Structure 1
Amino acid sequence: MMLSALGVWQLQRAEQKKVYFDQQTQRSKQSPIRVSKVMIESEKSGWPAEIIGEFEREGQFLWDNRTYEGRAGFHVLTPFMIEGSGVRIFVDRGWIPLEGSREQLPRPDIPVGQQKISGQLYAPLKGFTFVDEAPVFGALLRQNLDLDALVTSAPYDLHPYVLRLAPDEVGGFVRDWPGPSRTMIQRHQAYAVQWFGMAAVFVFVVISFVWRQRKDSKQGKIRK
């Protein structure tokens, strides 16, 4: 039955979210990874990390349609050149508000000089973008954080992660990063209960209808 299948699917989604929650919680407790010119191995999203190097203005962009406490704005993503290499990693320095219109976009300053920064590695989900609308590297405004497109178009090597700058680091903006939450697990479980409940009601209605039909049929035969 479709309703029961939807309930099972929601339970499967809840289990997937639980695995993700447990994984991210465990990773956040690990010792920080020292990010170097060597590319980070896969499956490191959610790990704390440290980097030594310098911020670069060229290539910085604003990730559009980011909200904070109901206000529209942007996330500021700035390339960070890793010490002793030509490899960069984009650092999400946090949220800034949209002031006025998009005709005059803000151009946030960057911290100058070599420094050590820390944060959490993040592998963003790829958003949908028409090929003809994909901005070239260096464009100030982007609708999606598409790392594959950035890696392909960048004039240098890029790490396949973004570093979310830690809240206590200087040189950032509003950084209220989302953490692992059990809310989505509970939501899928609640949806599953609803689907199973509707399936039970449907079965009850069908059984009641069939029982009444048979009862009426028997009474009709007796009258004859």
Structure 2
Amino acid sequence: MRPDYMGIMFLCTSVMSFNAGIWQIFRRGQKRQLLENHKNLNKDPLDSLPPPHSTVNDCEFRRVKLDGSFDNEGSCLVGPRSIPSYKGAANEDESRGGFLVMTPFEIANTGDFVMVNRGWVPIDAGKHRTMLMQYIGEGFAPAQVRGILRKEEFLGGSLFWGPSPDNEGPVAVDLSWLAMRPWNMAIAYYKKRWGPDHLEESVKKHGVHHYFVEMLEDFSGDDQRIVRGHAWPRRREVDEVTYVHLTPVVHSMYVIFWFSVTAGSLYGMLRCWRRQKDLFALRKFVDKQAMRLETKRQEEAQAYMKAVEDVERLQKISPAAAAAQIDVGKTSAEKKKEAEDSRPLQ
């Protein structure tokens, strides 16, 4: 029987729409947690890093005010990326794409290191490390970091090849990364500065974290450099950080939509199954009737062939013997009827 392609289409649609609905439920939960974490902006700023037992939701978007020094030579880039703002590009440099600058920052009173997102620089900064120094400076520079804590990013792995290796290290020599991975960036920085042999000692002394500090325009102050008439790195404002494109209400609407598509697809698949069931029953009935007709035709053909054989056999013998065989085959009632029919009328 030919496959029901419409039913297969409904089945595939129901599976995909159901998965899309589950994904929207997951995204709605993420957005709710994100909006809840935005409330941490209203808390008093920290003058040190959060304690080790703090969770990501406790410290994300928490304001910090740290004194220490930048190691500009240990800076790395994340990207390339478009300018991280829903307002769009304001000049030619911003329209060509660029990188986020991550610089190790040593806290003065504790000696701990934390990776700091200093902002966004144009694409030219990624051509060479000397170009990057024009935007952020050189060597060790004392500074006061005022910003917010953000959790690390993670690139999804491939379906067939497992976790993405781009989460573990830079993709362009030692400068460019694809994701905000402060833990891995700190490990790479310690190896480069003190060598692989002292890595364990450096980690214990200076620490590694799964979060970083993002400097904001509202808090960071006037510590940027002027290049081609613009202040760099370009930092986001609070409203750009807290901007949510799709709210949980929108995700709820998507949940209703995708599950409605799933229900409609399942109903269509049920209709196709019933139609196939009726067609199968009709095909079975037709096949049964055809078998009965074929059996009857074969019986009639066998009777016809037997009669033909009898006629041919009678043609080969004499008429008298044939008549005798015919009389032998007749019953007494048939003979009596023939005698009455042959009697002349008076």
| Alpha-carbon distance between aligned partners in 2 of 1:200 and 1:36, rounded to the nearest angstrom | 50
* Residue matched to 1:53: 68
Structure 1 residue 35 and structure 2 residue 85: aligned?
no
Rg larger for: 2
1:184 CA displacement: 5.2
Structure 1 residue 164 and structure 2 residue 201: aligned?
no
Give the % identical residues: 18
Equivalent of 2:106 in 72, 81, 89: 81
* Residue matched to 2:179: 144
Contact 1:63–1:143 (CA under 8 A) maintained in structure 2: yes
Instruction: Looking at secondary structure, tell me which structure has more strand per residue.
Output: 1
The aligned runs of 1:171-210 (5 Å cut-off) are 171-172=223-224, 173-176=233-236, 177-179=240-242, 181=244, 183=246, 185-206=248-269, 208-209=271-272
Deviation readout 1:13-70 (Å, 9 max, x if unpaired) = 1441243123212212211112159758332122111101122223112222121135
* Residue matched to 1:93: 118
Equivalent of 1:62 in 67, 77, 84: 77
| Alpha-carbon distance between aligned partners in 2 of 1:210 and 1:64, rounded to the nearest angstrom | 51
Alignment gaps of 5+ in structure 1: none
1:82 CA displacement: 0.7
Change (3 A) 1:197 1:166: same
1:209 CA displacement: 5.0
Change (3 A) 1:80 1:191: same
Structure 1 residue 109 and structure 2 residue 159: aligned?
no
| Alpha-carbon distance between aligned partners in 1 of 2:117 and 2:53, rounded to the nearest angstrom | 18
Instruction: Looking at secondary structure, tell me which structure has more helix per residue.
Output: 2
Deviation readout 1:79-124 (Å, 9 max, x if unpaired) = 2211133222121111111139736743233497544331000112
Aligned length: 218
Contact 1:37–1:82 (CA under 8 A) maintained in structure 2: no
Q: Secondary structure at the match of 1:119?
A: strand
| Alpha-carbon distance between aligned partners in 2 of 1:34 and 1:139, rounded to the nearest angstrom | 31
Q: CA RMSD in A?
A: 3.7
Contact 1:60–1:76 (CA under 8 A) maintained in structure 2: yes
| Alpha-carbon distance between aligned partners in 1 of 2:38 and 2:96, rounded to the nearest angstrom | 29
1:167 CA displacement: 0.5
Partner amino acid for 1:195?
W
Q: More deviation in 7-16 or 204-213?
A: 204-213
Alignment gaps of 5+ in structure 2: 1-13, 89-94, 156-163, 195-201, 225-232, 286-346
Contact 1:93–1:171 (CA under 8 A) maintained in structure 2: no
Contact 2:153–2:179 (CA under 8 A) maintained in structure 1: no
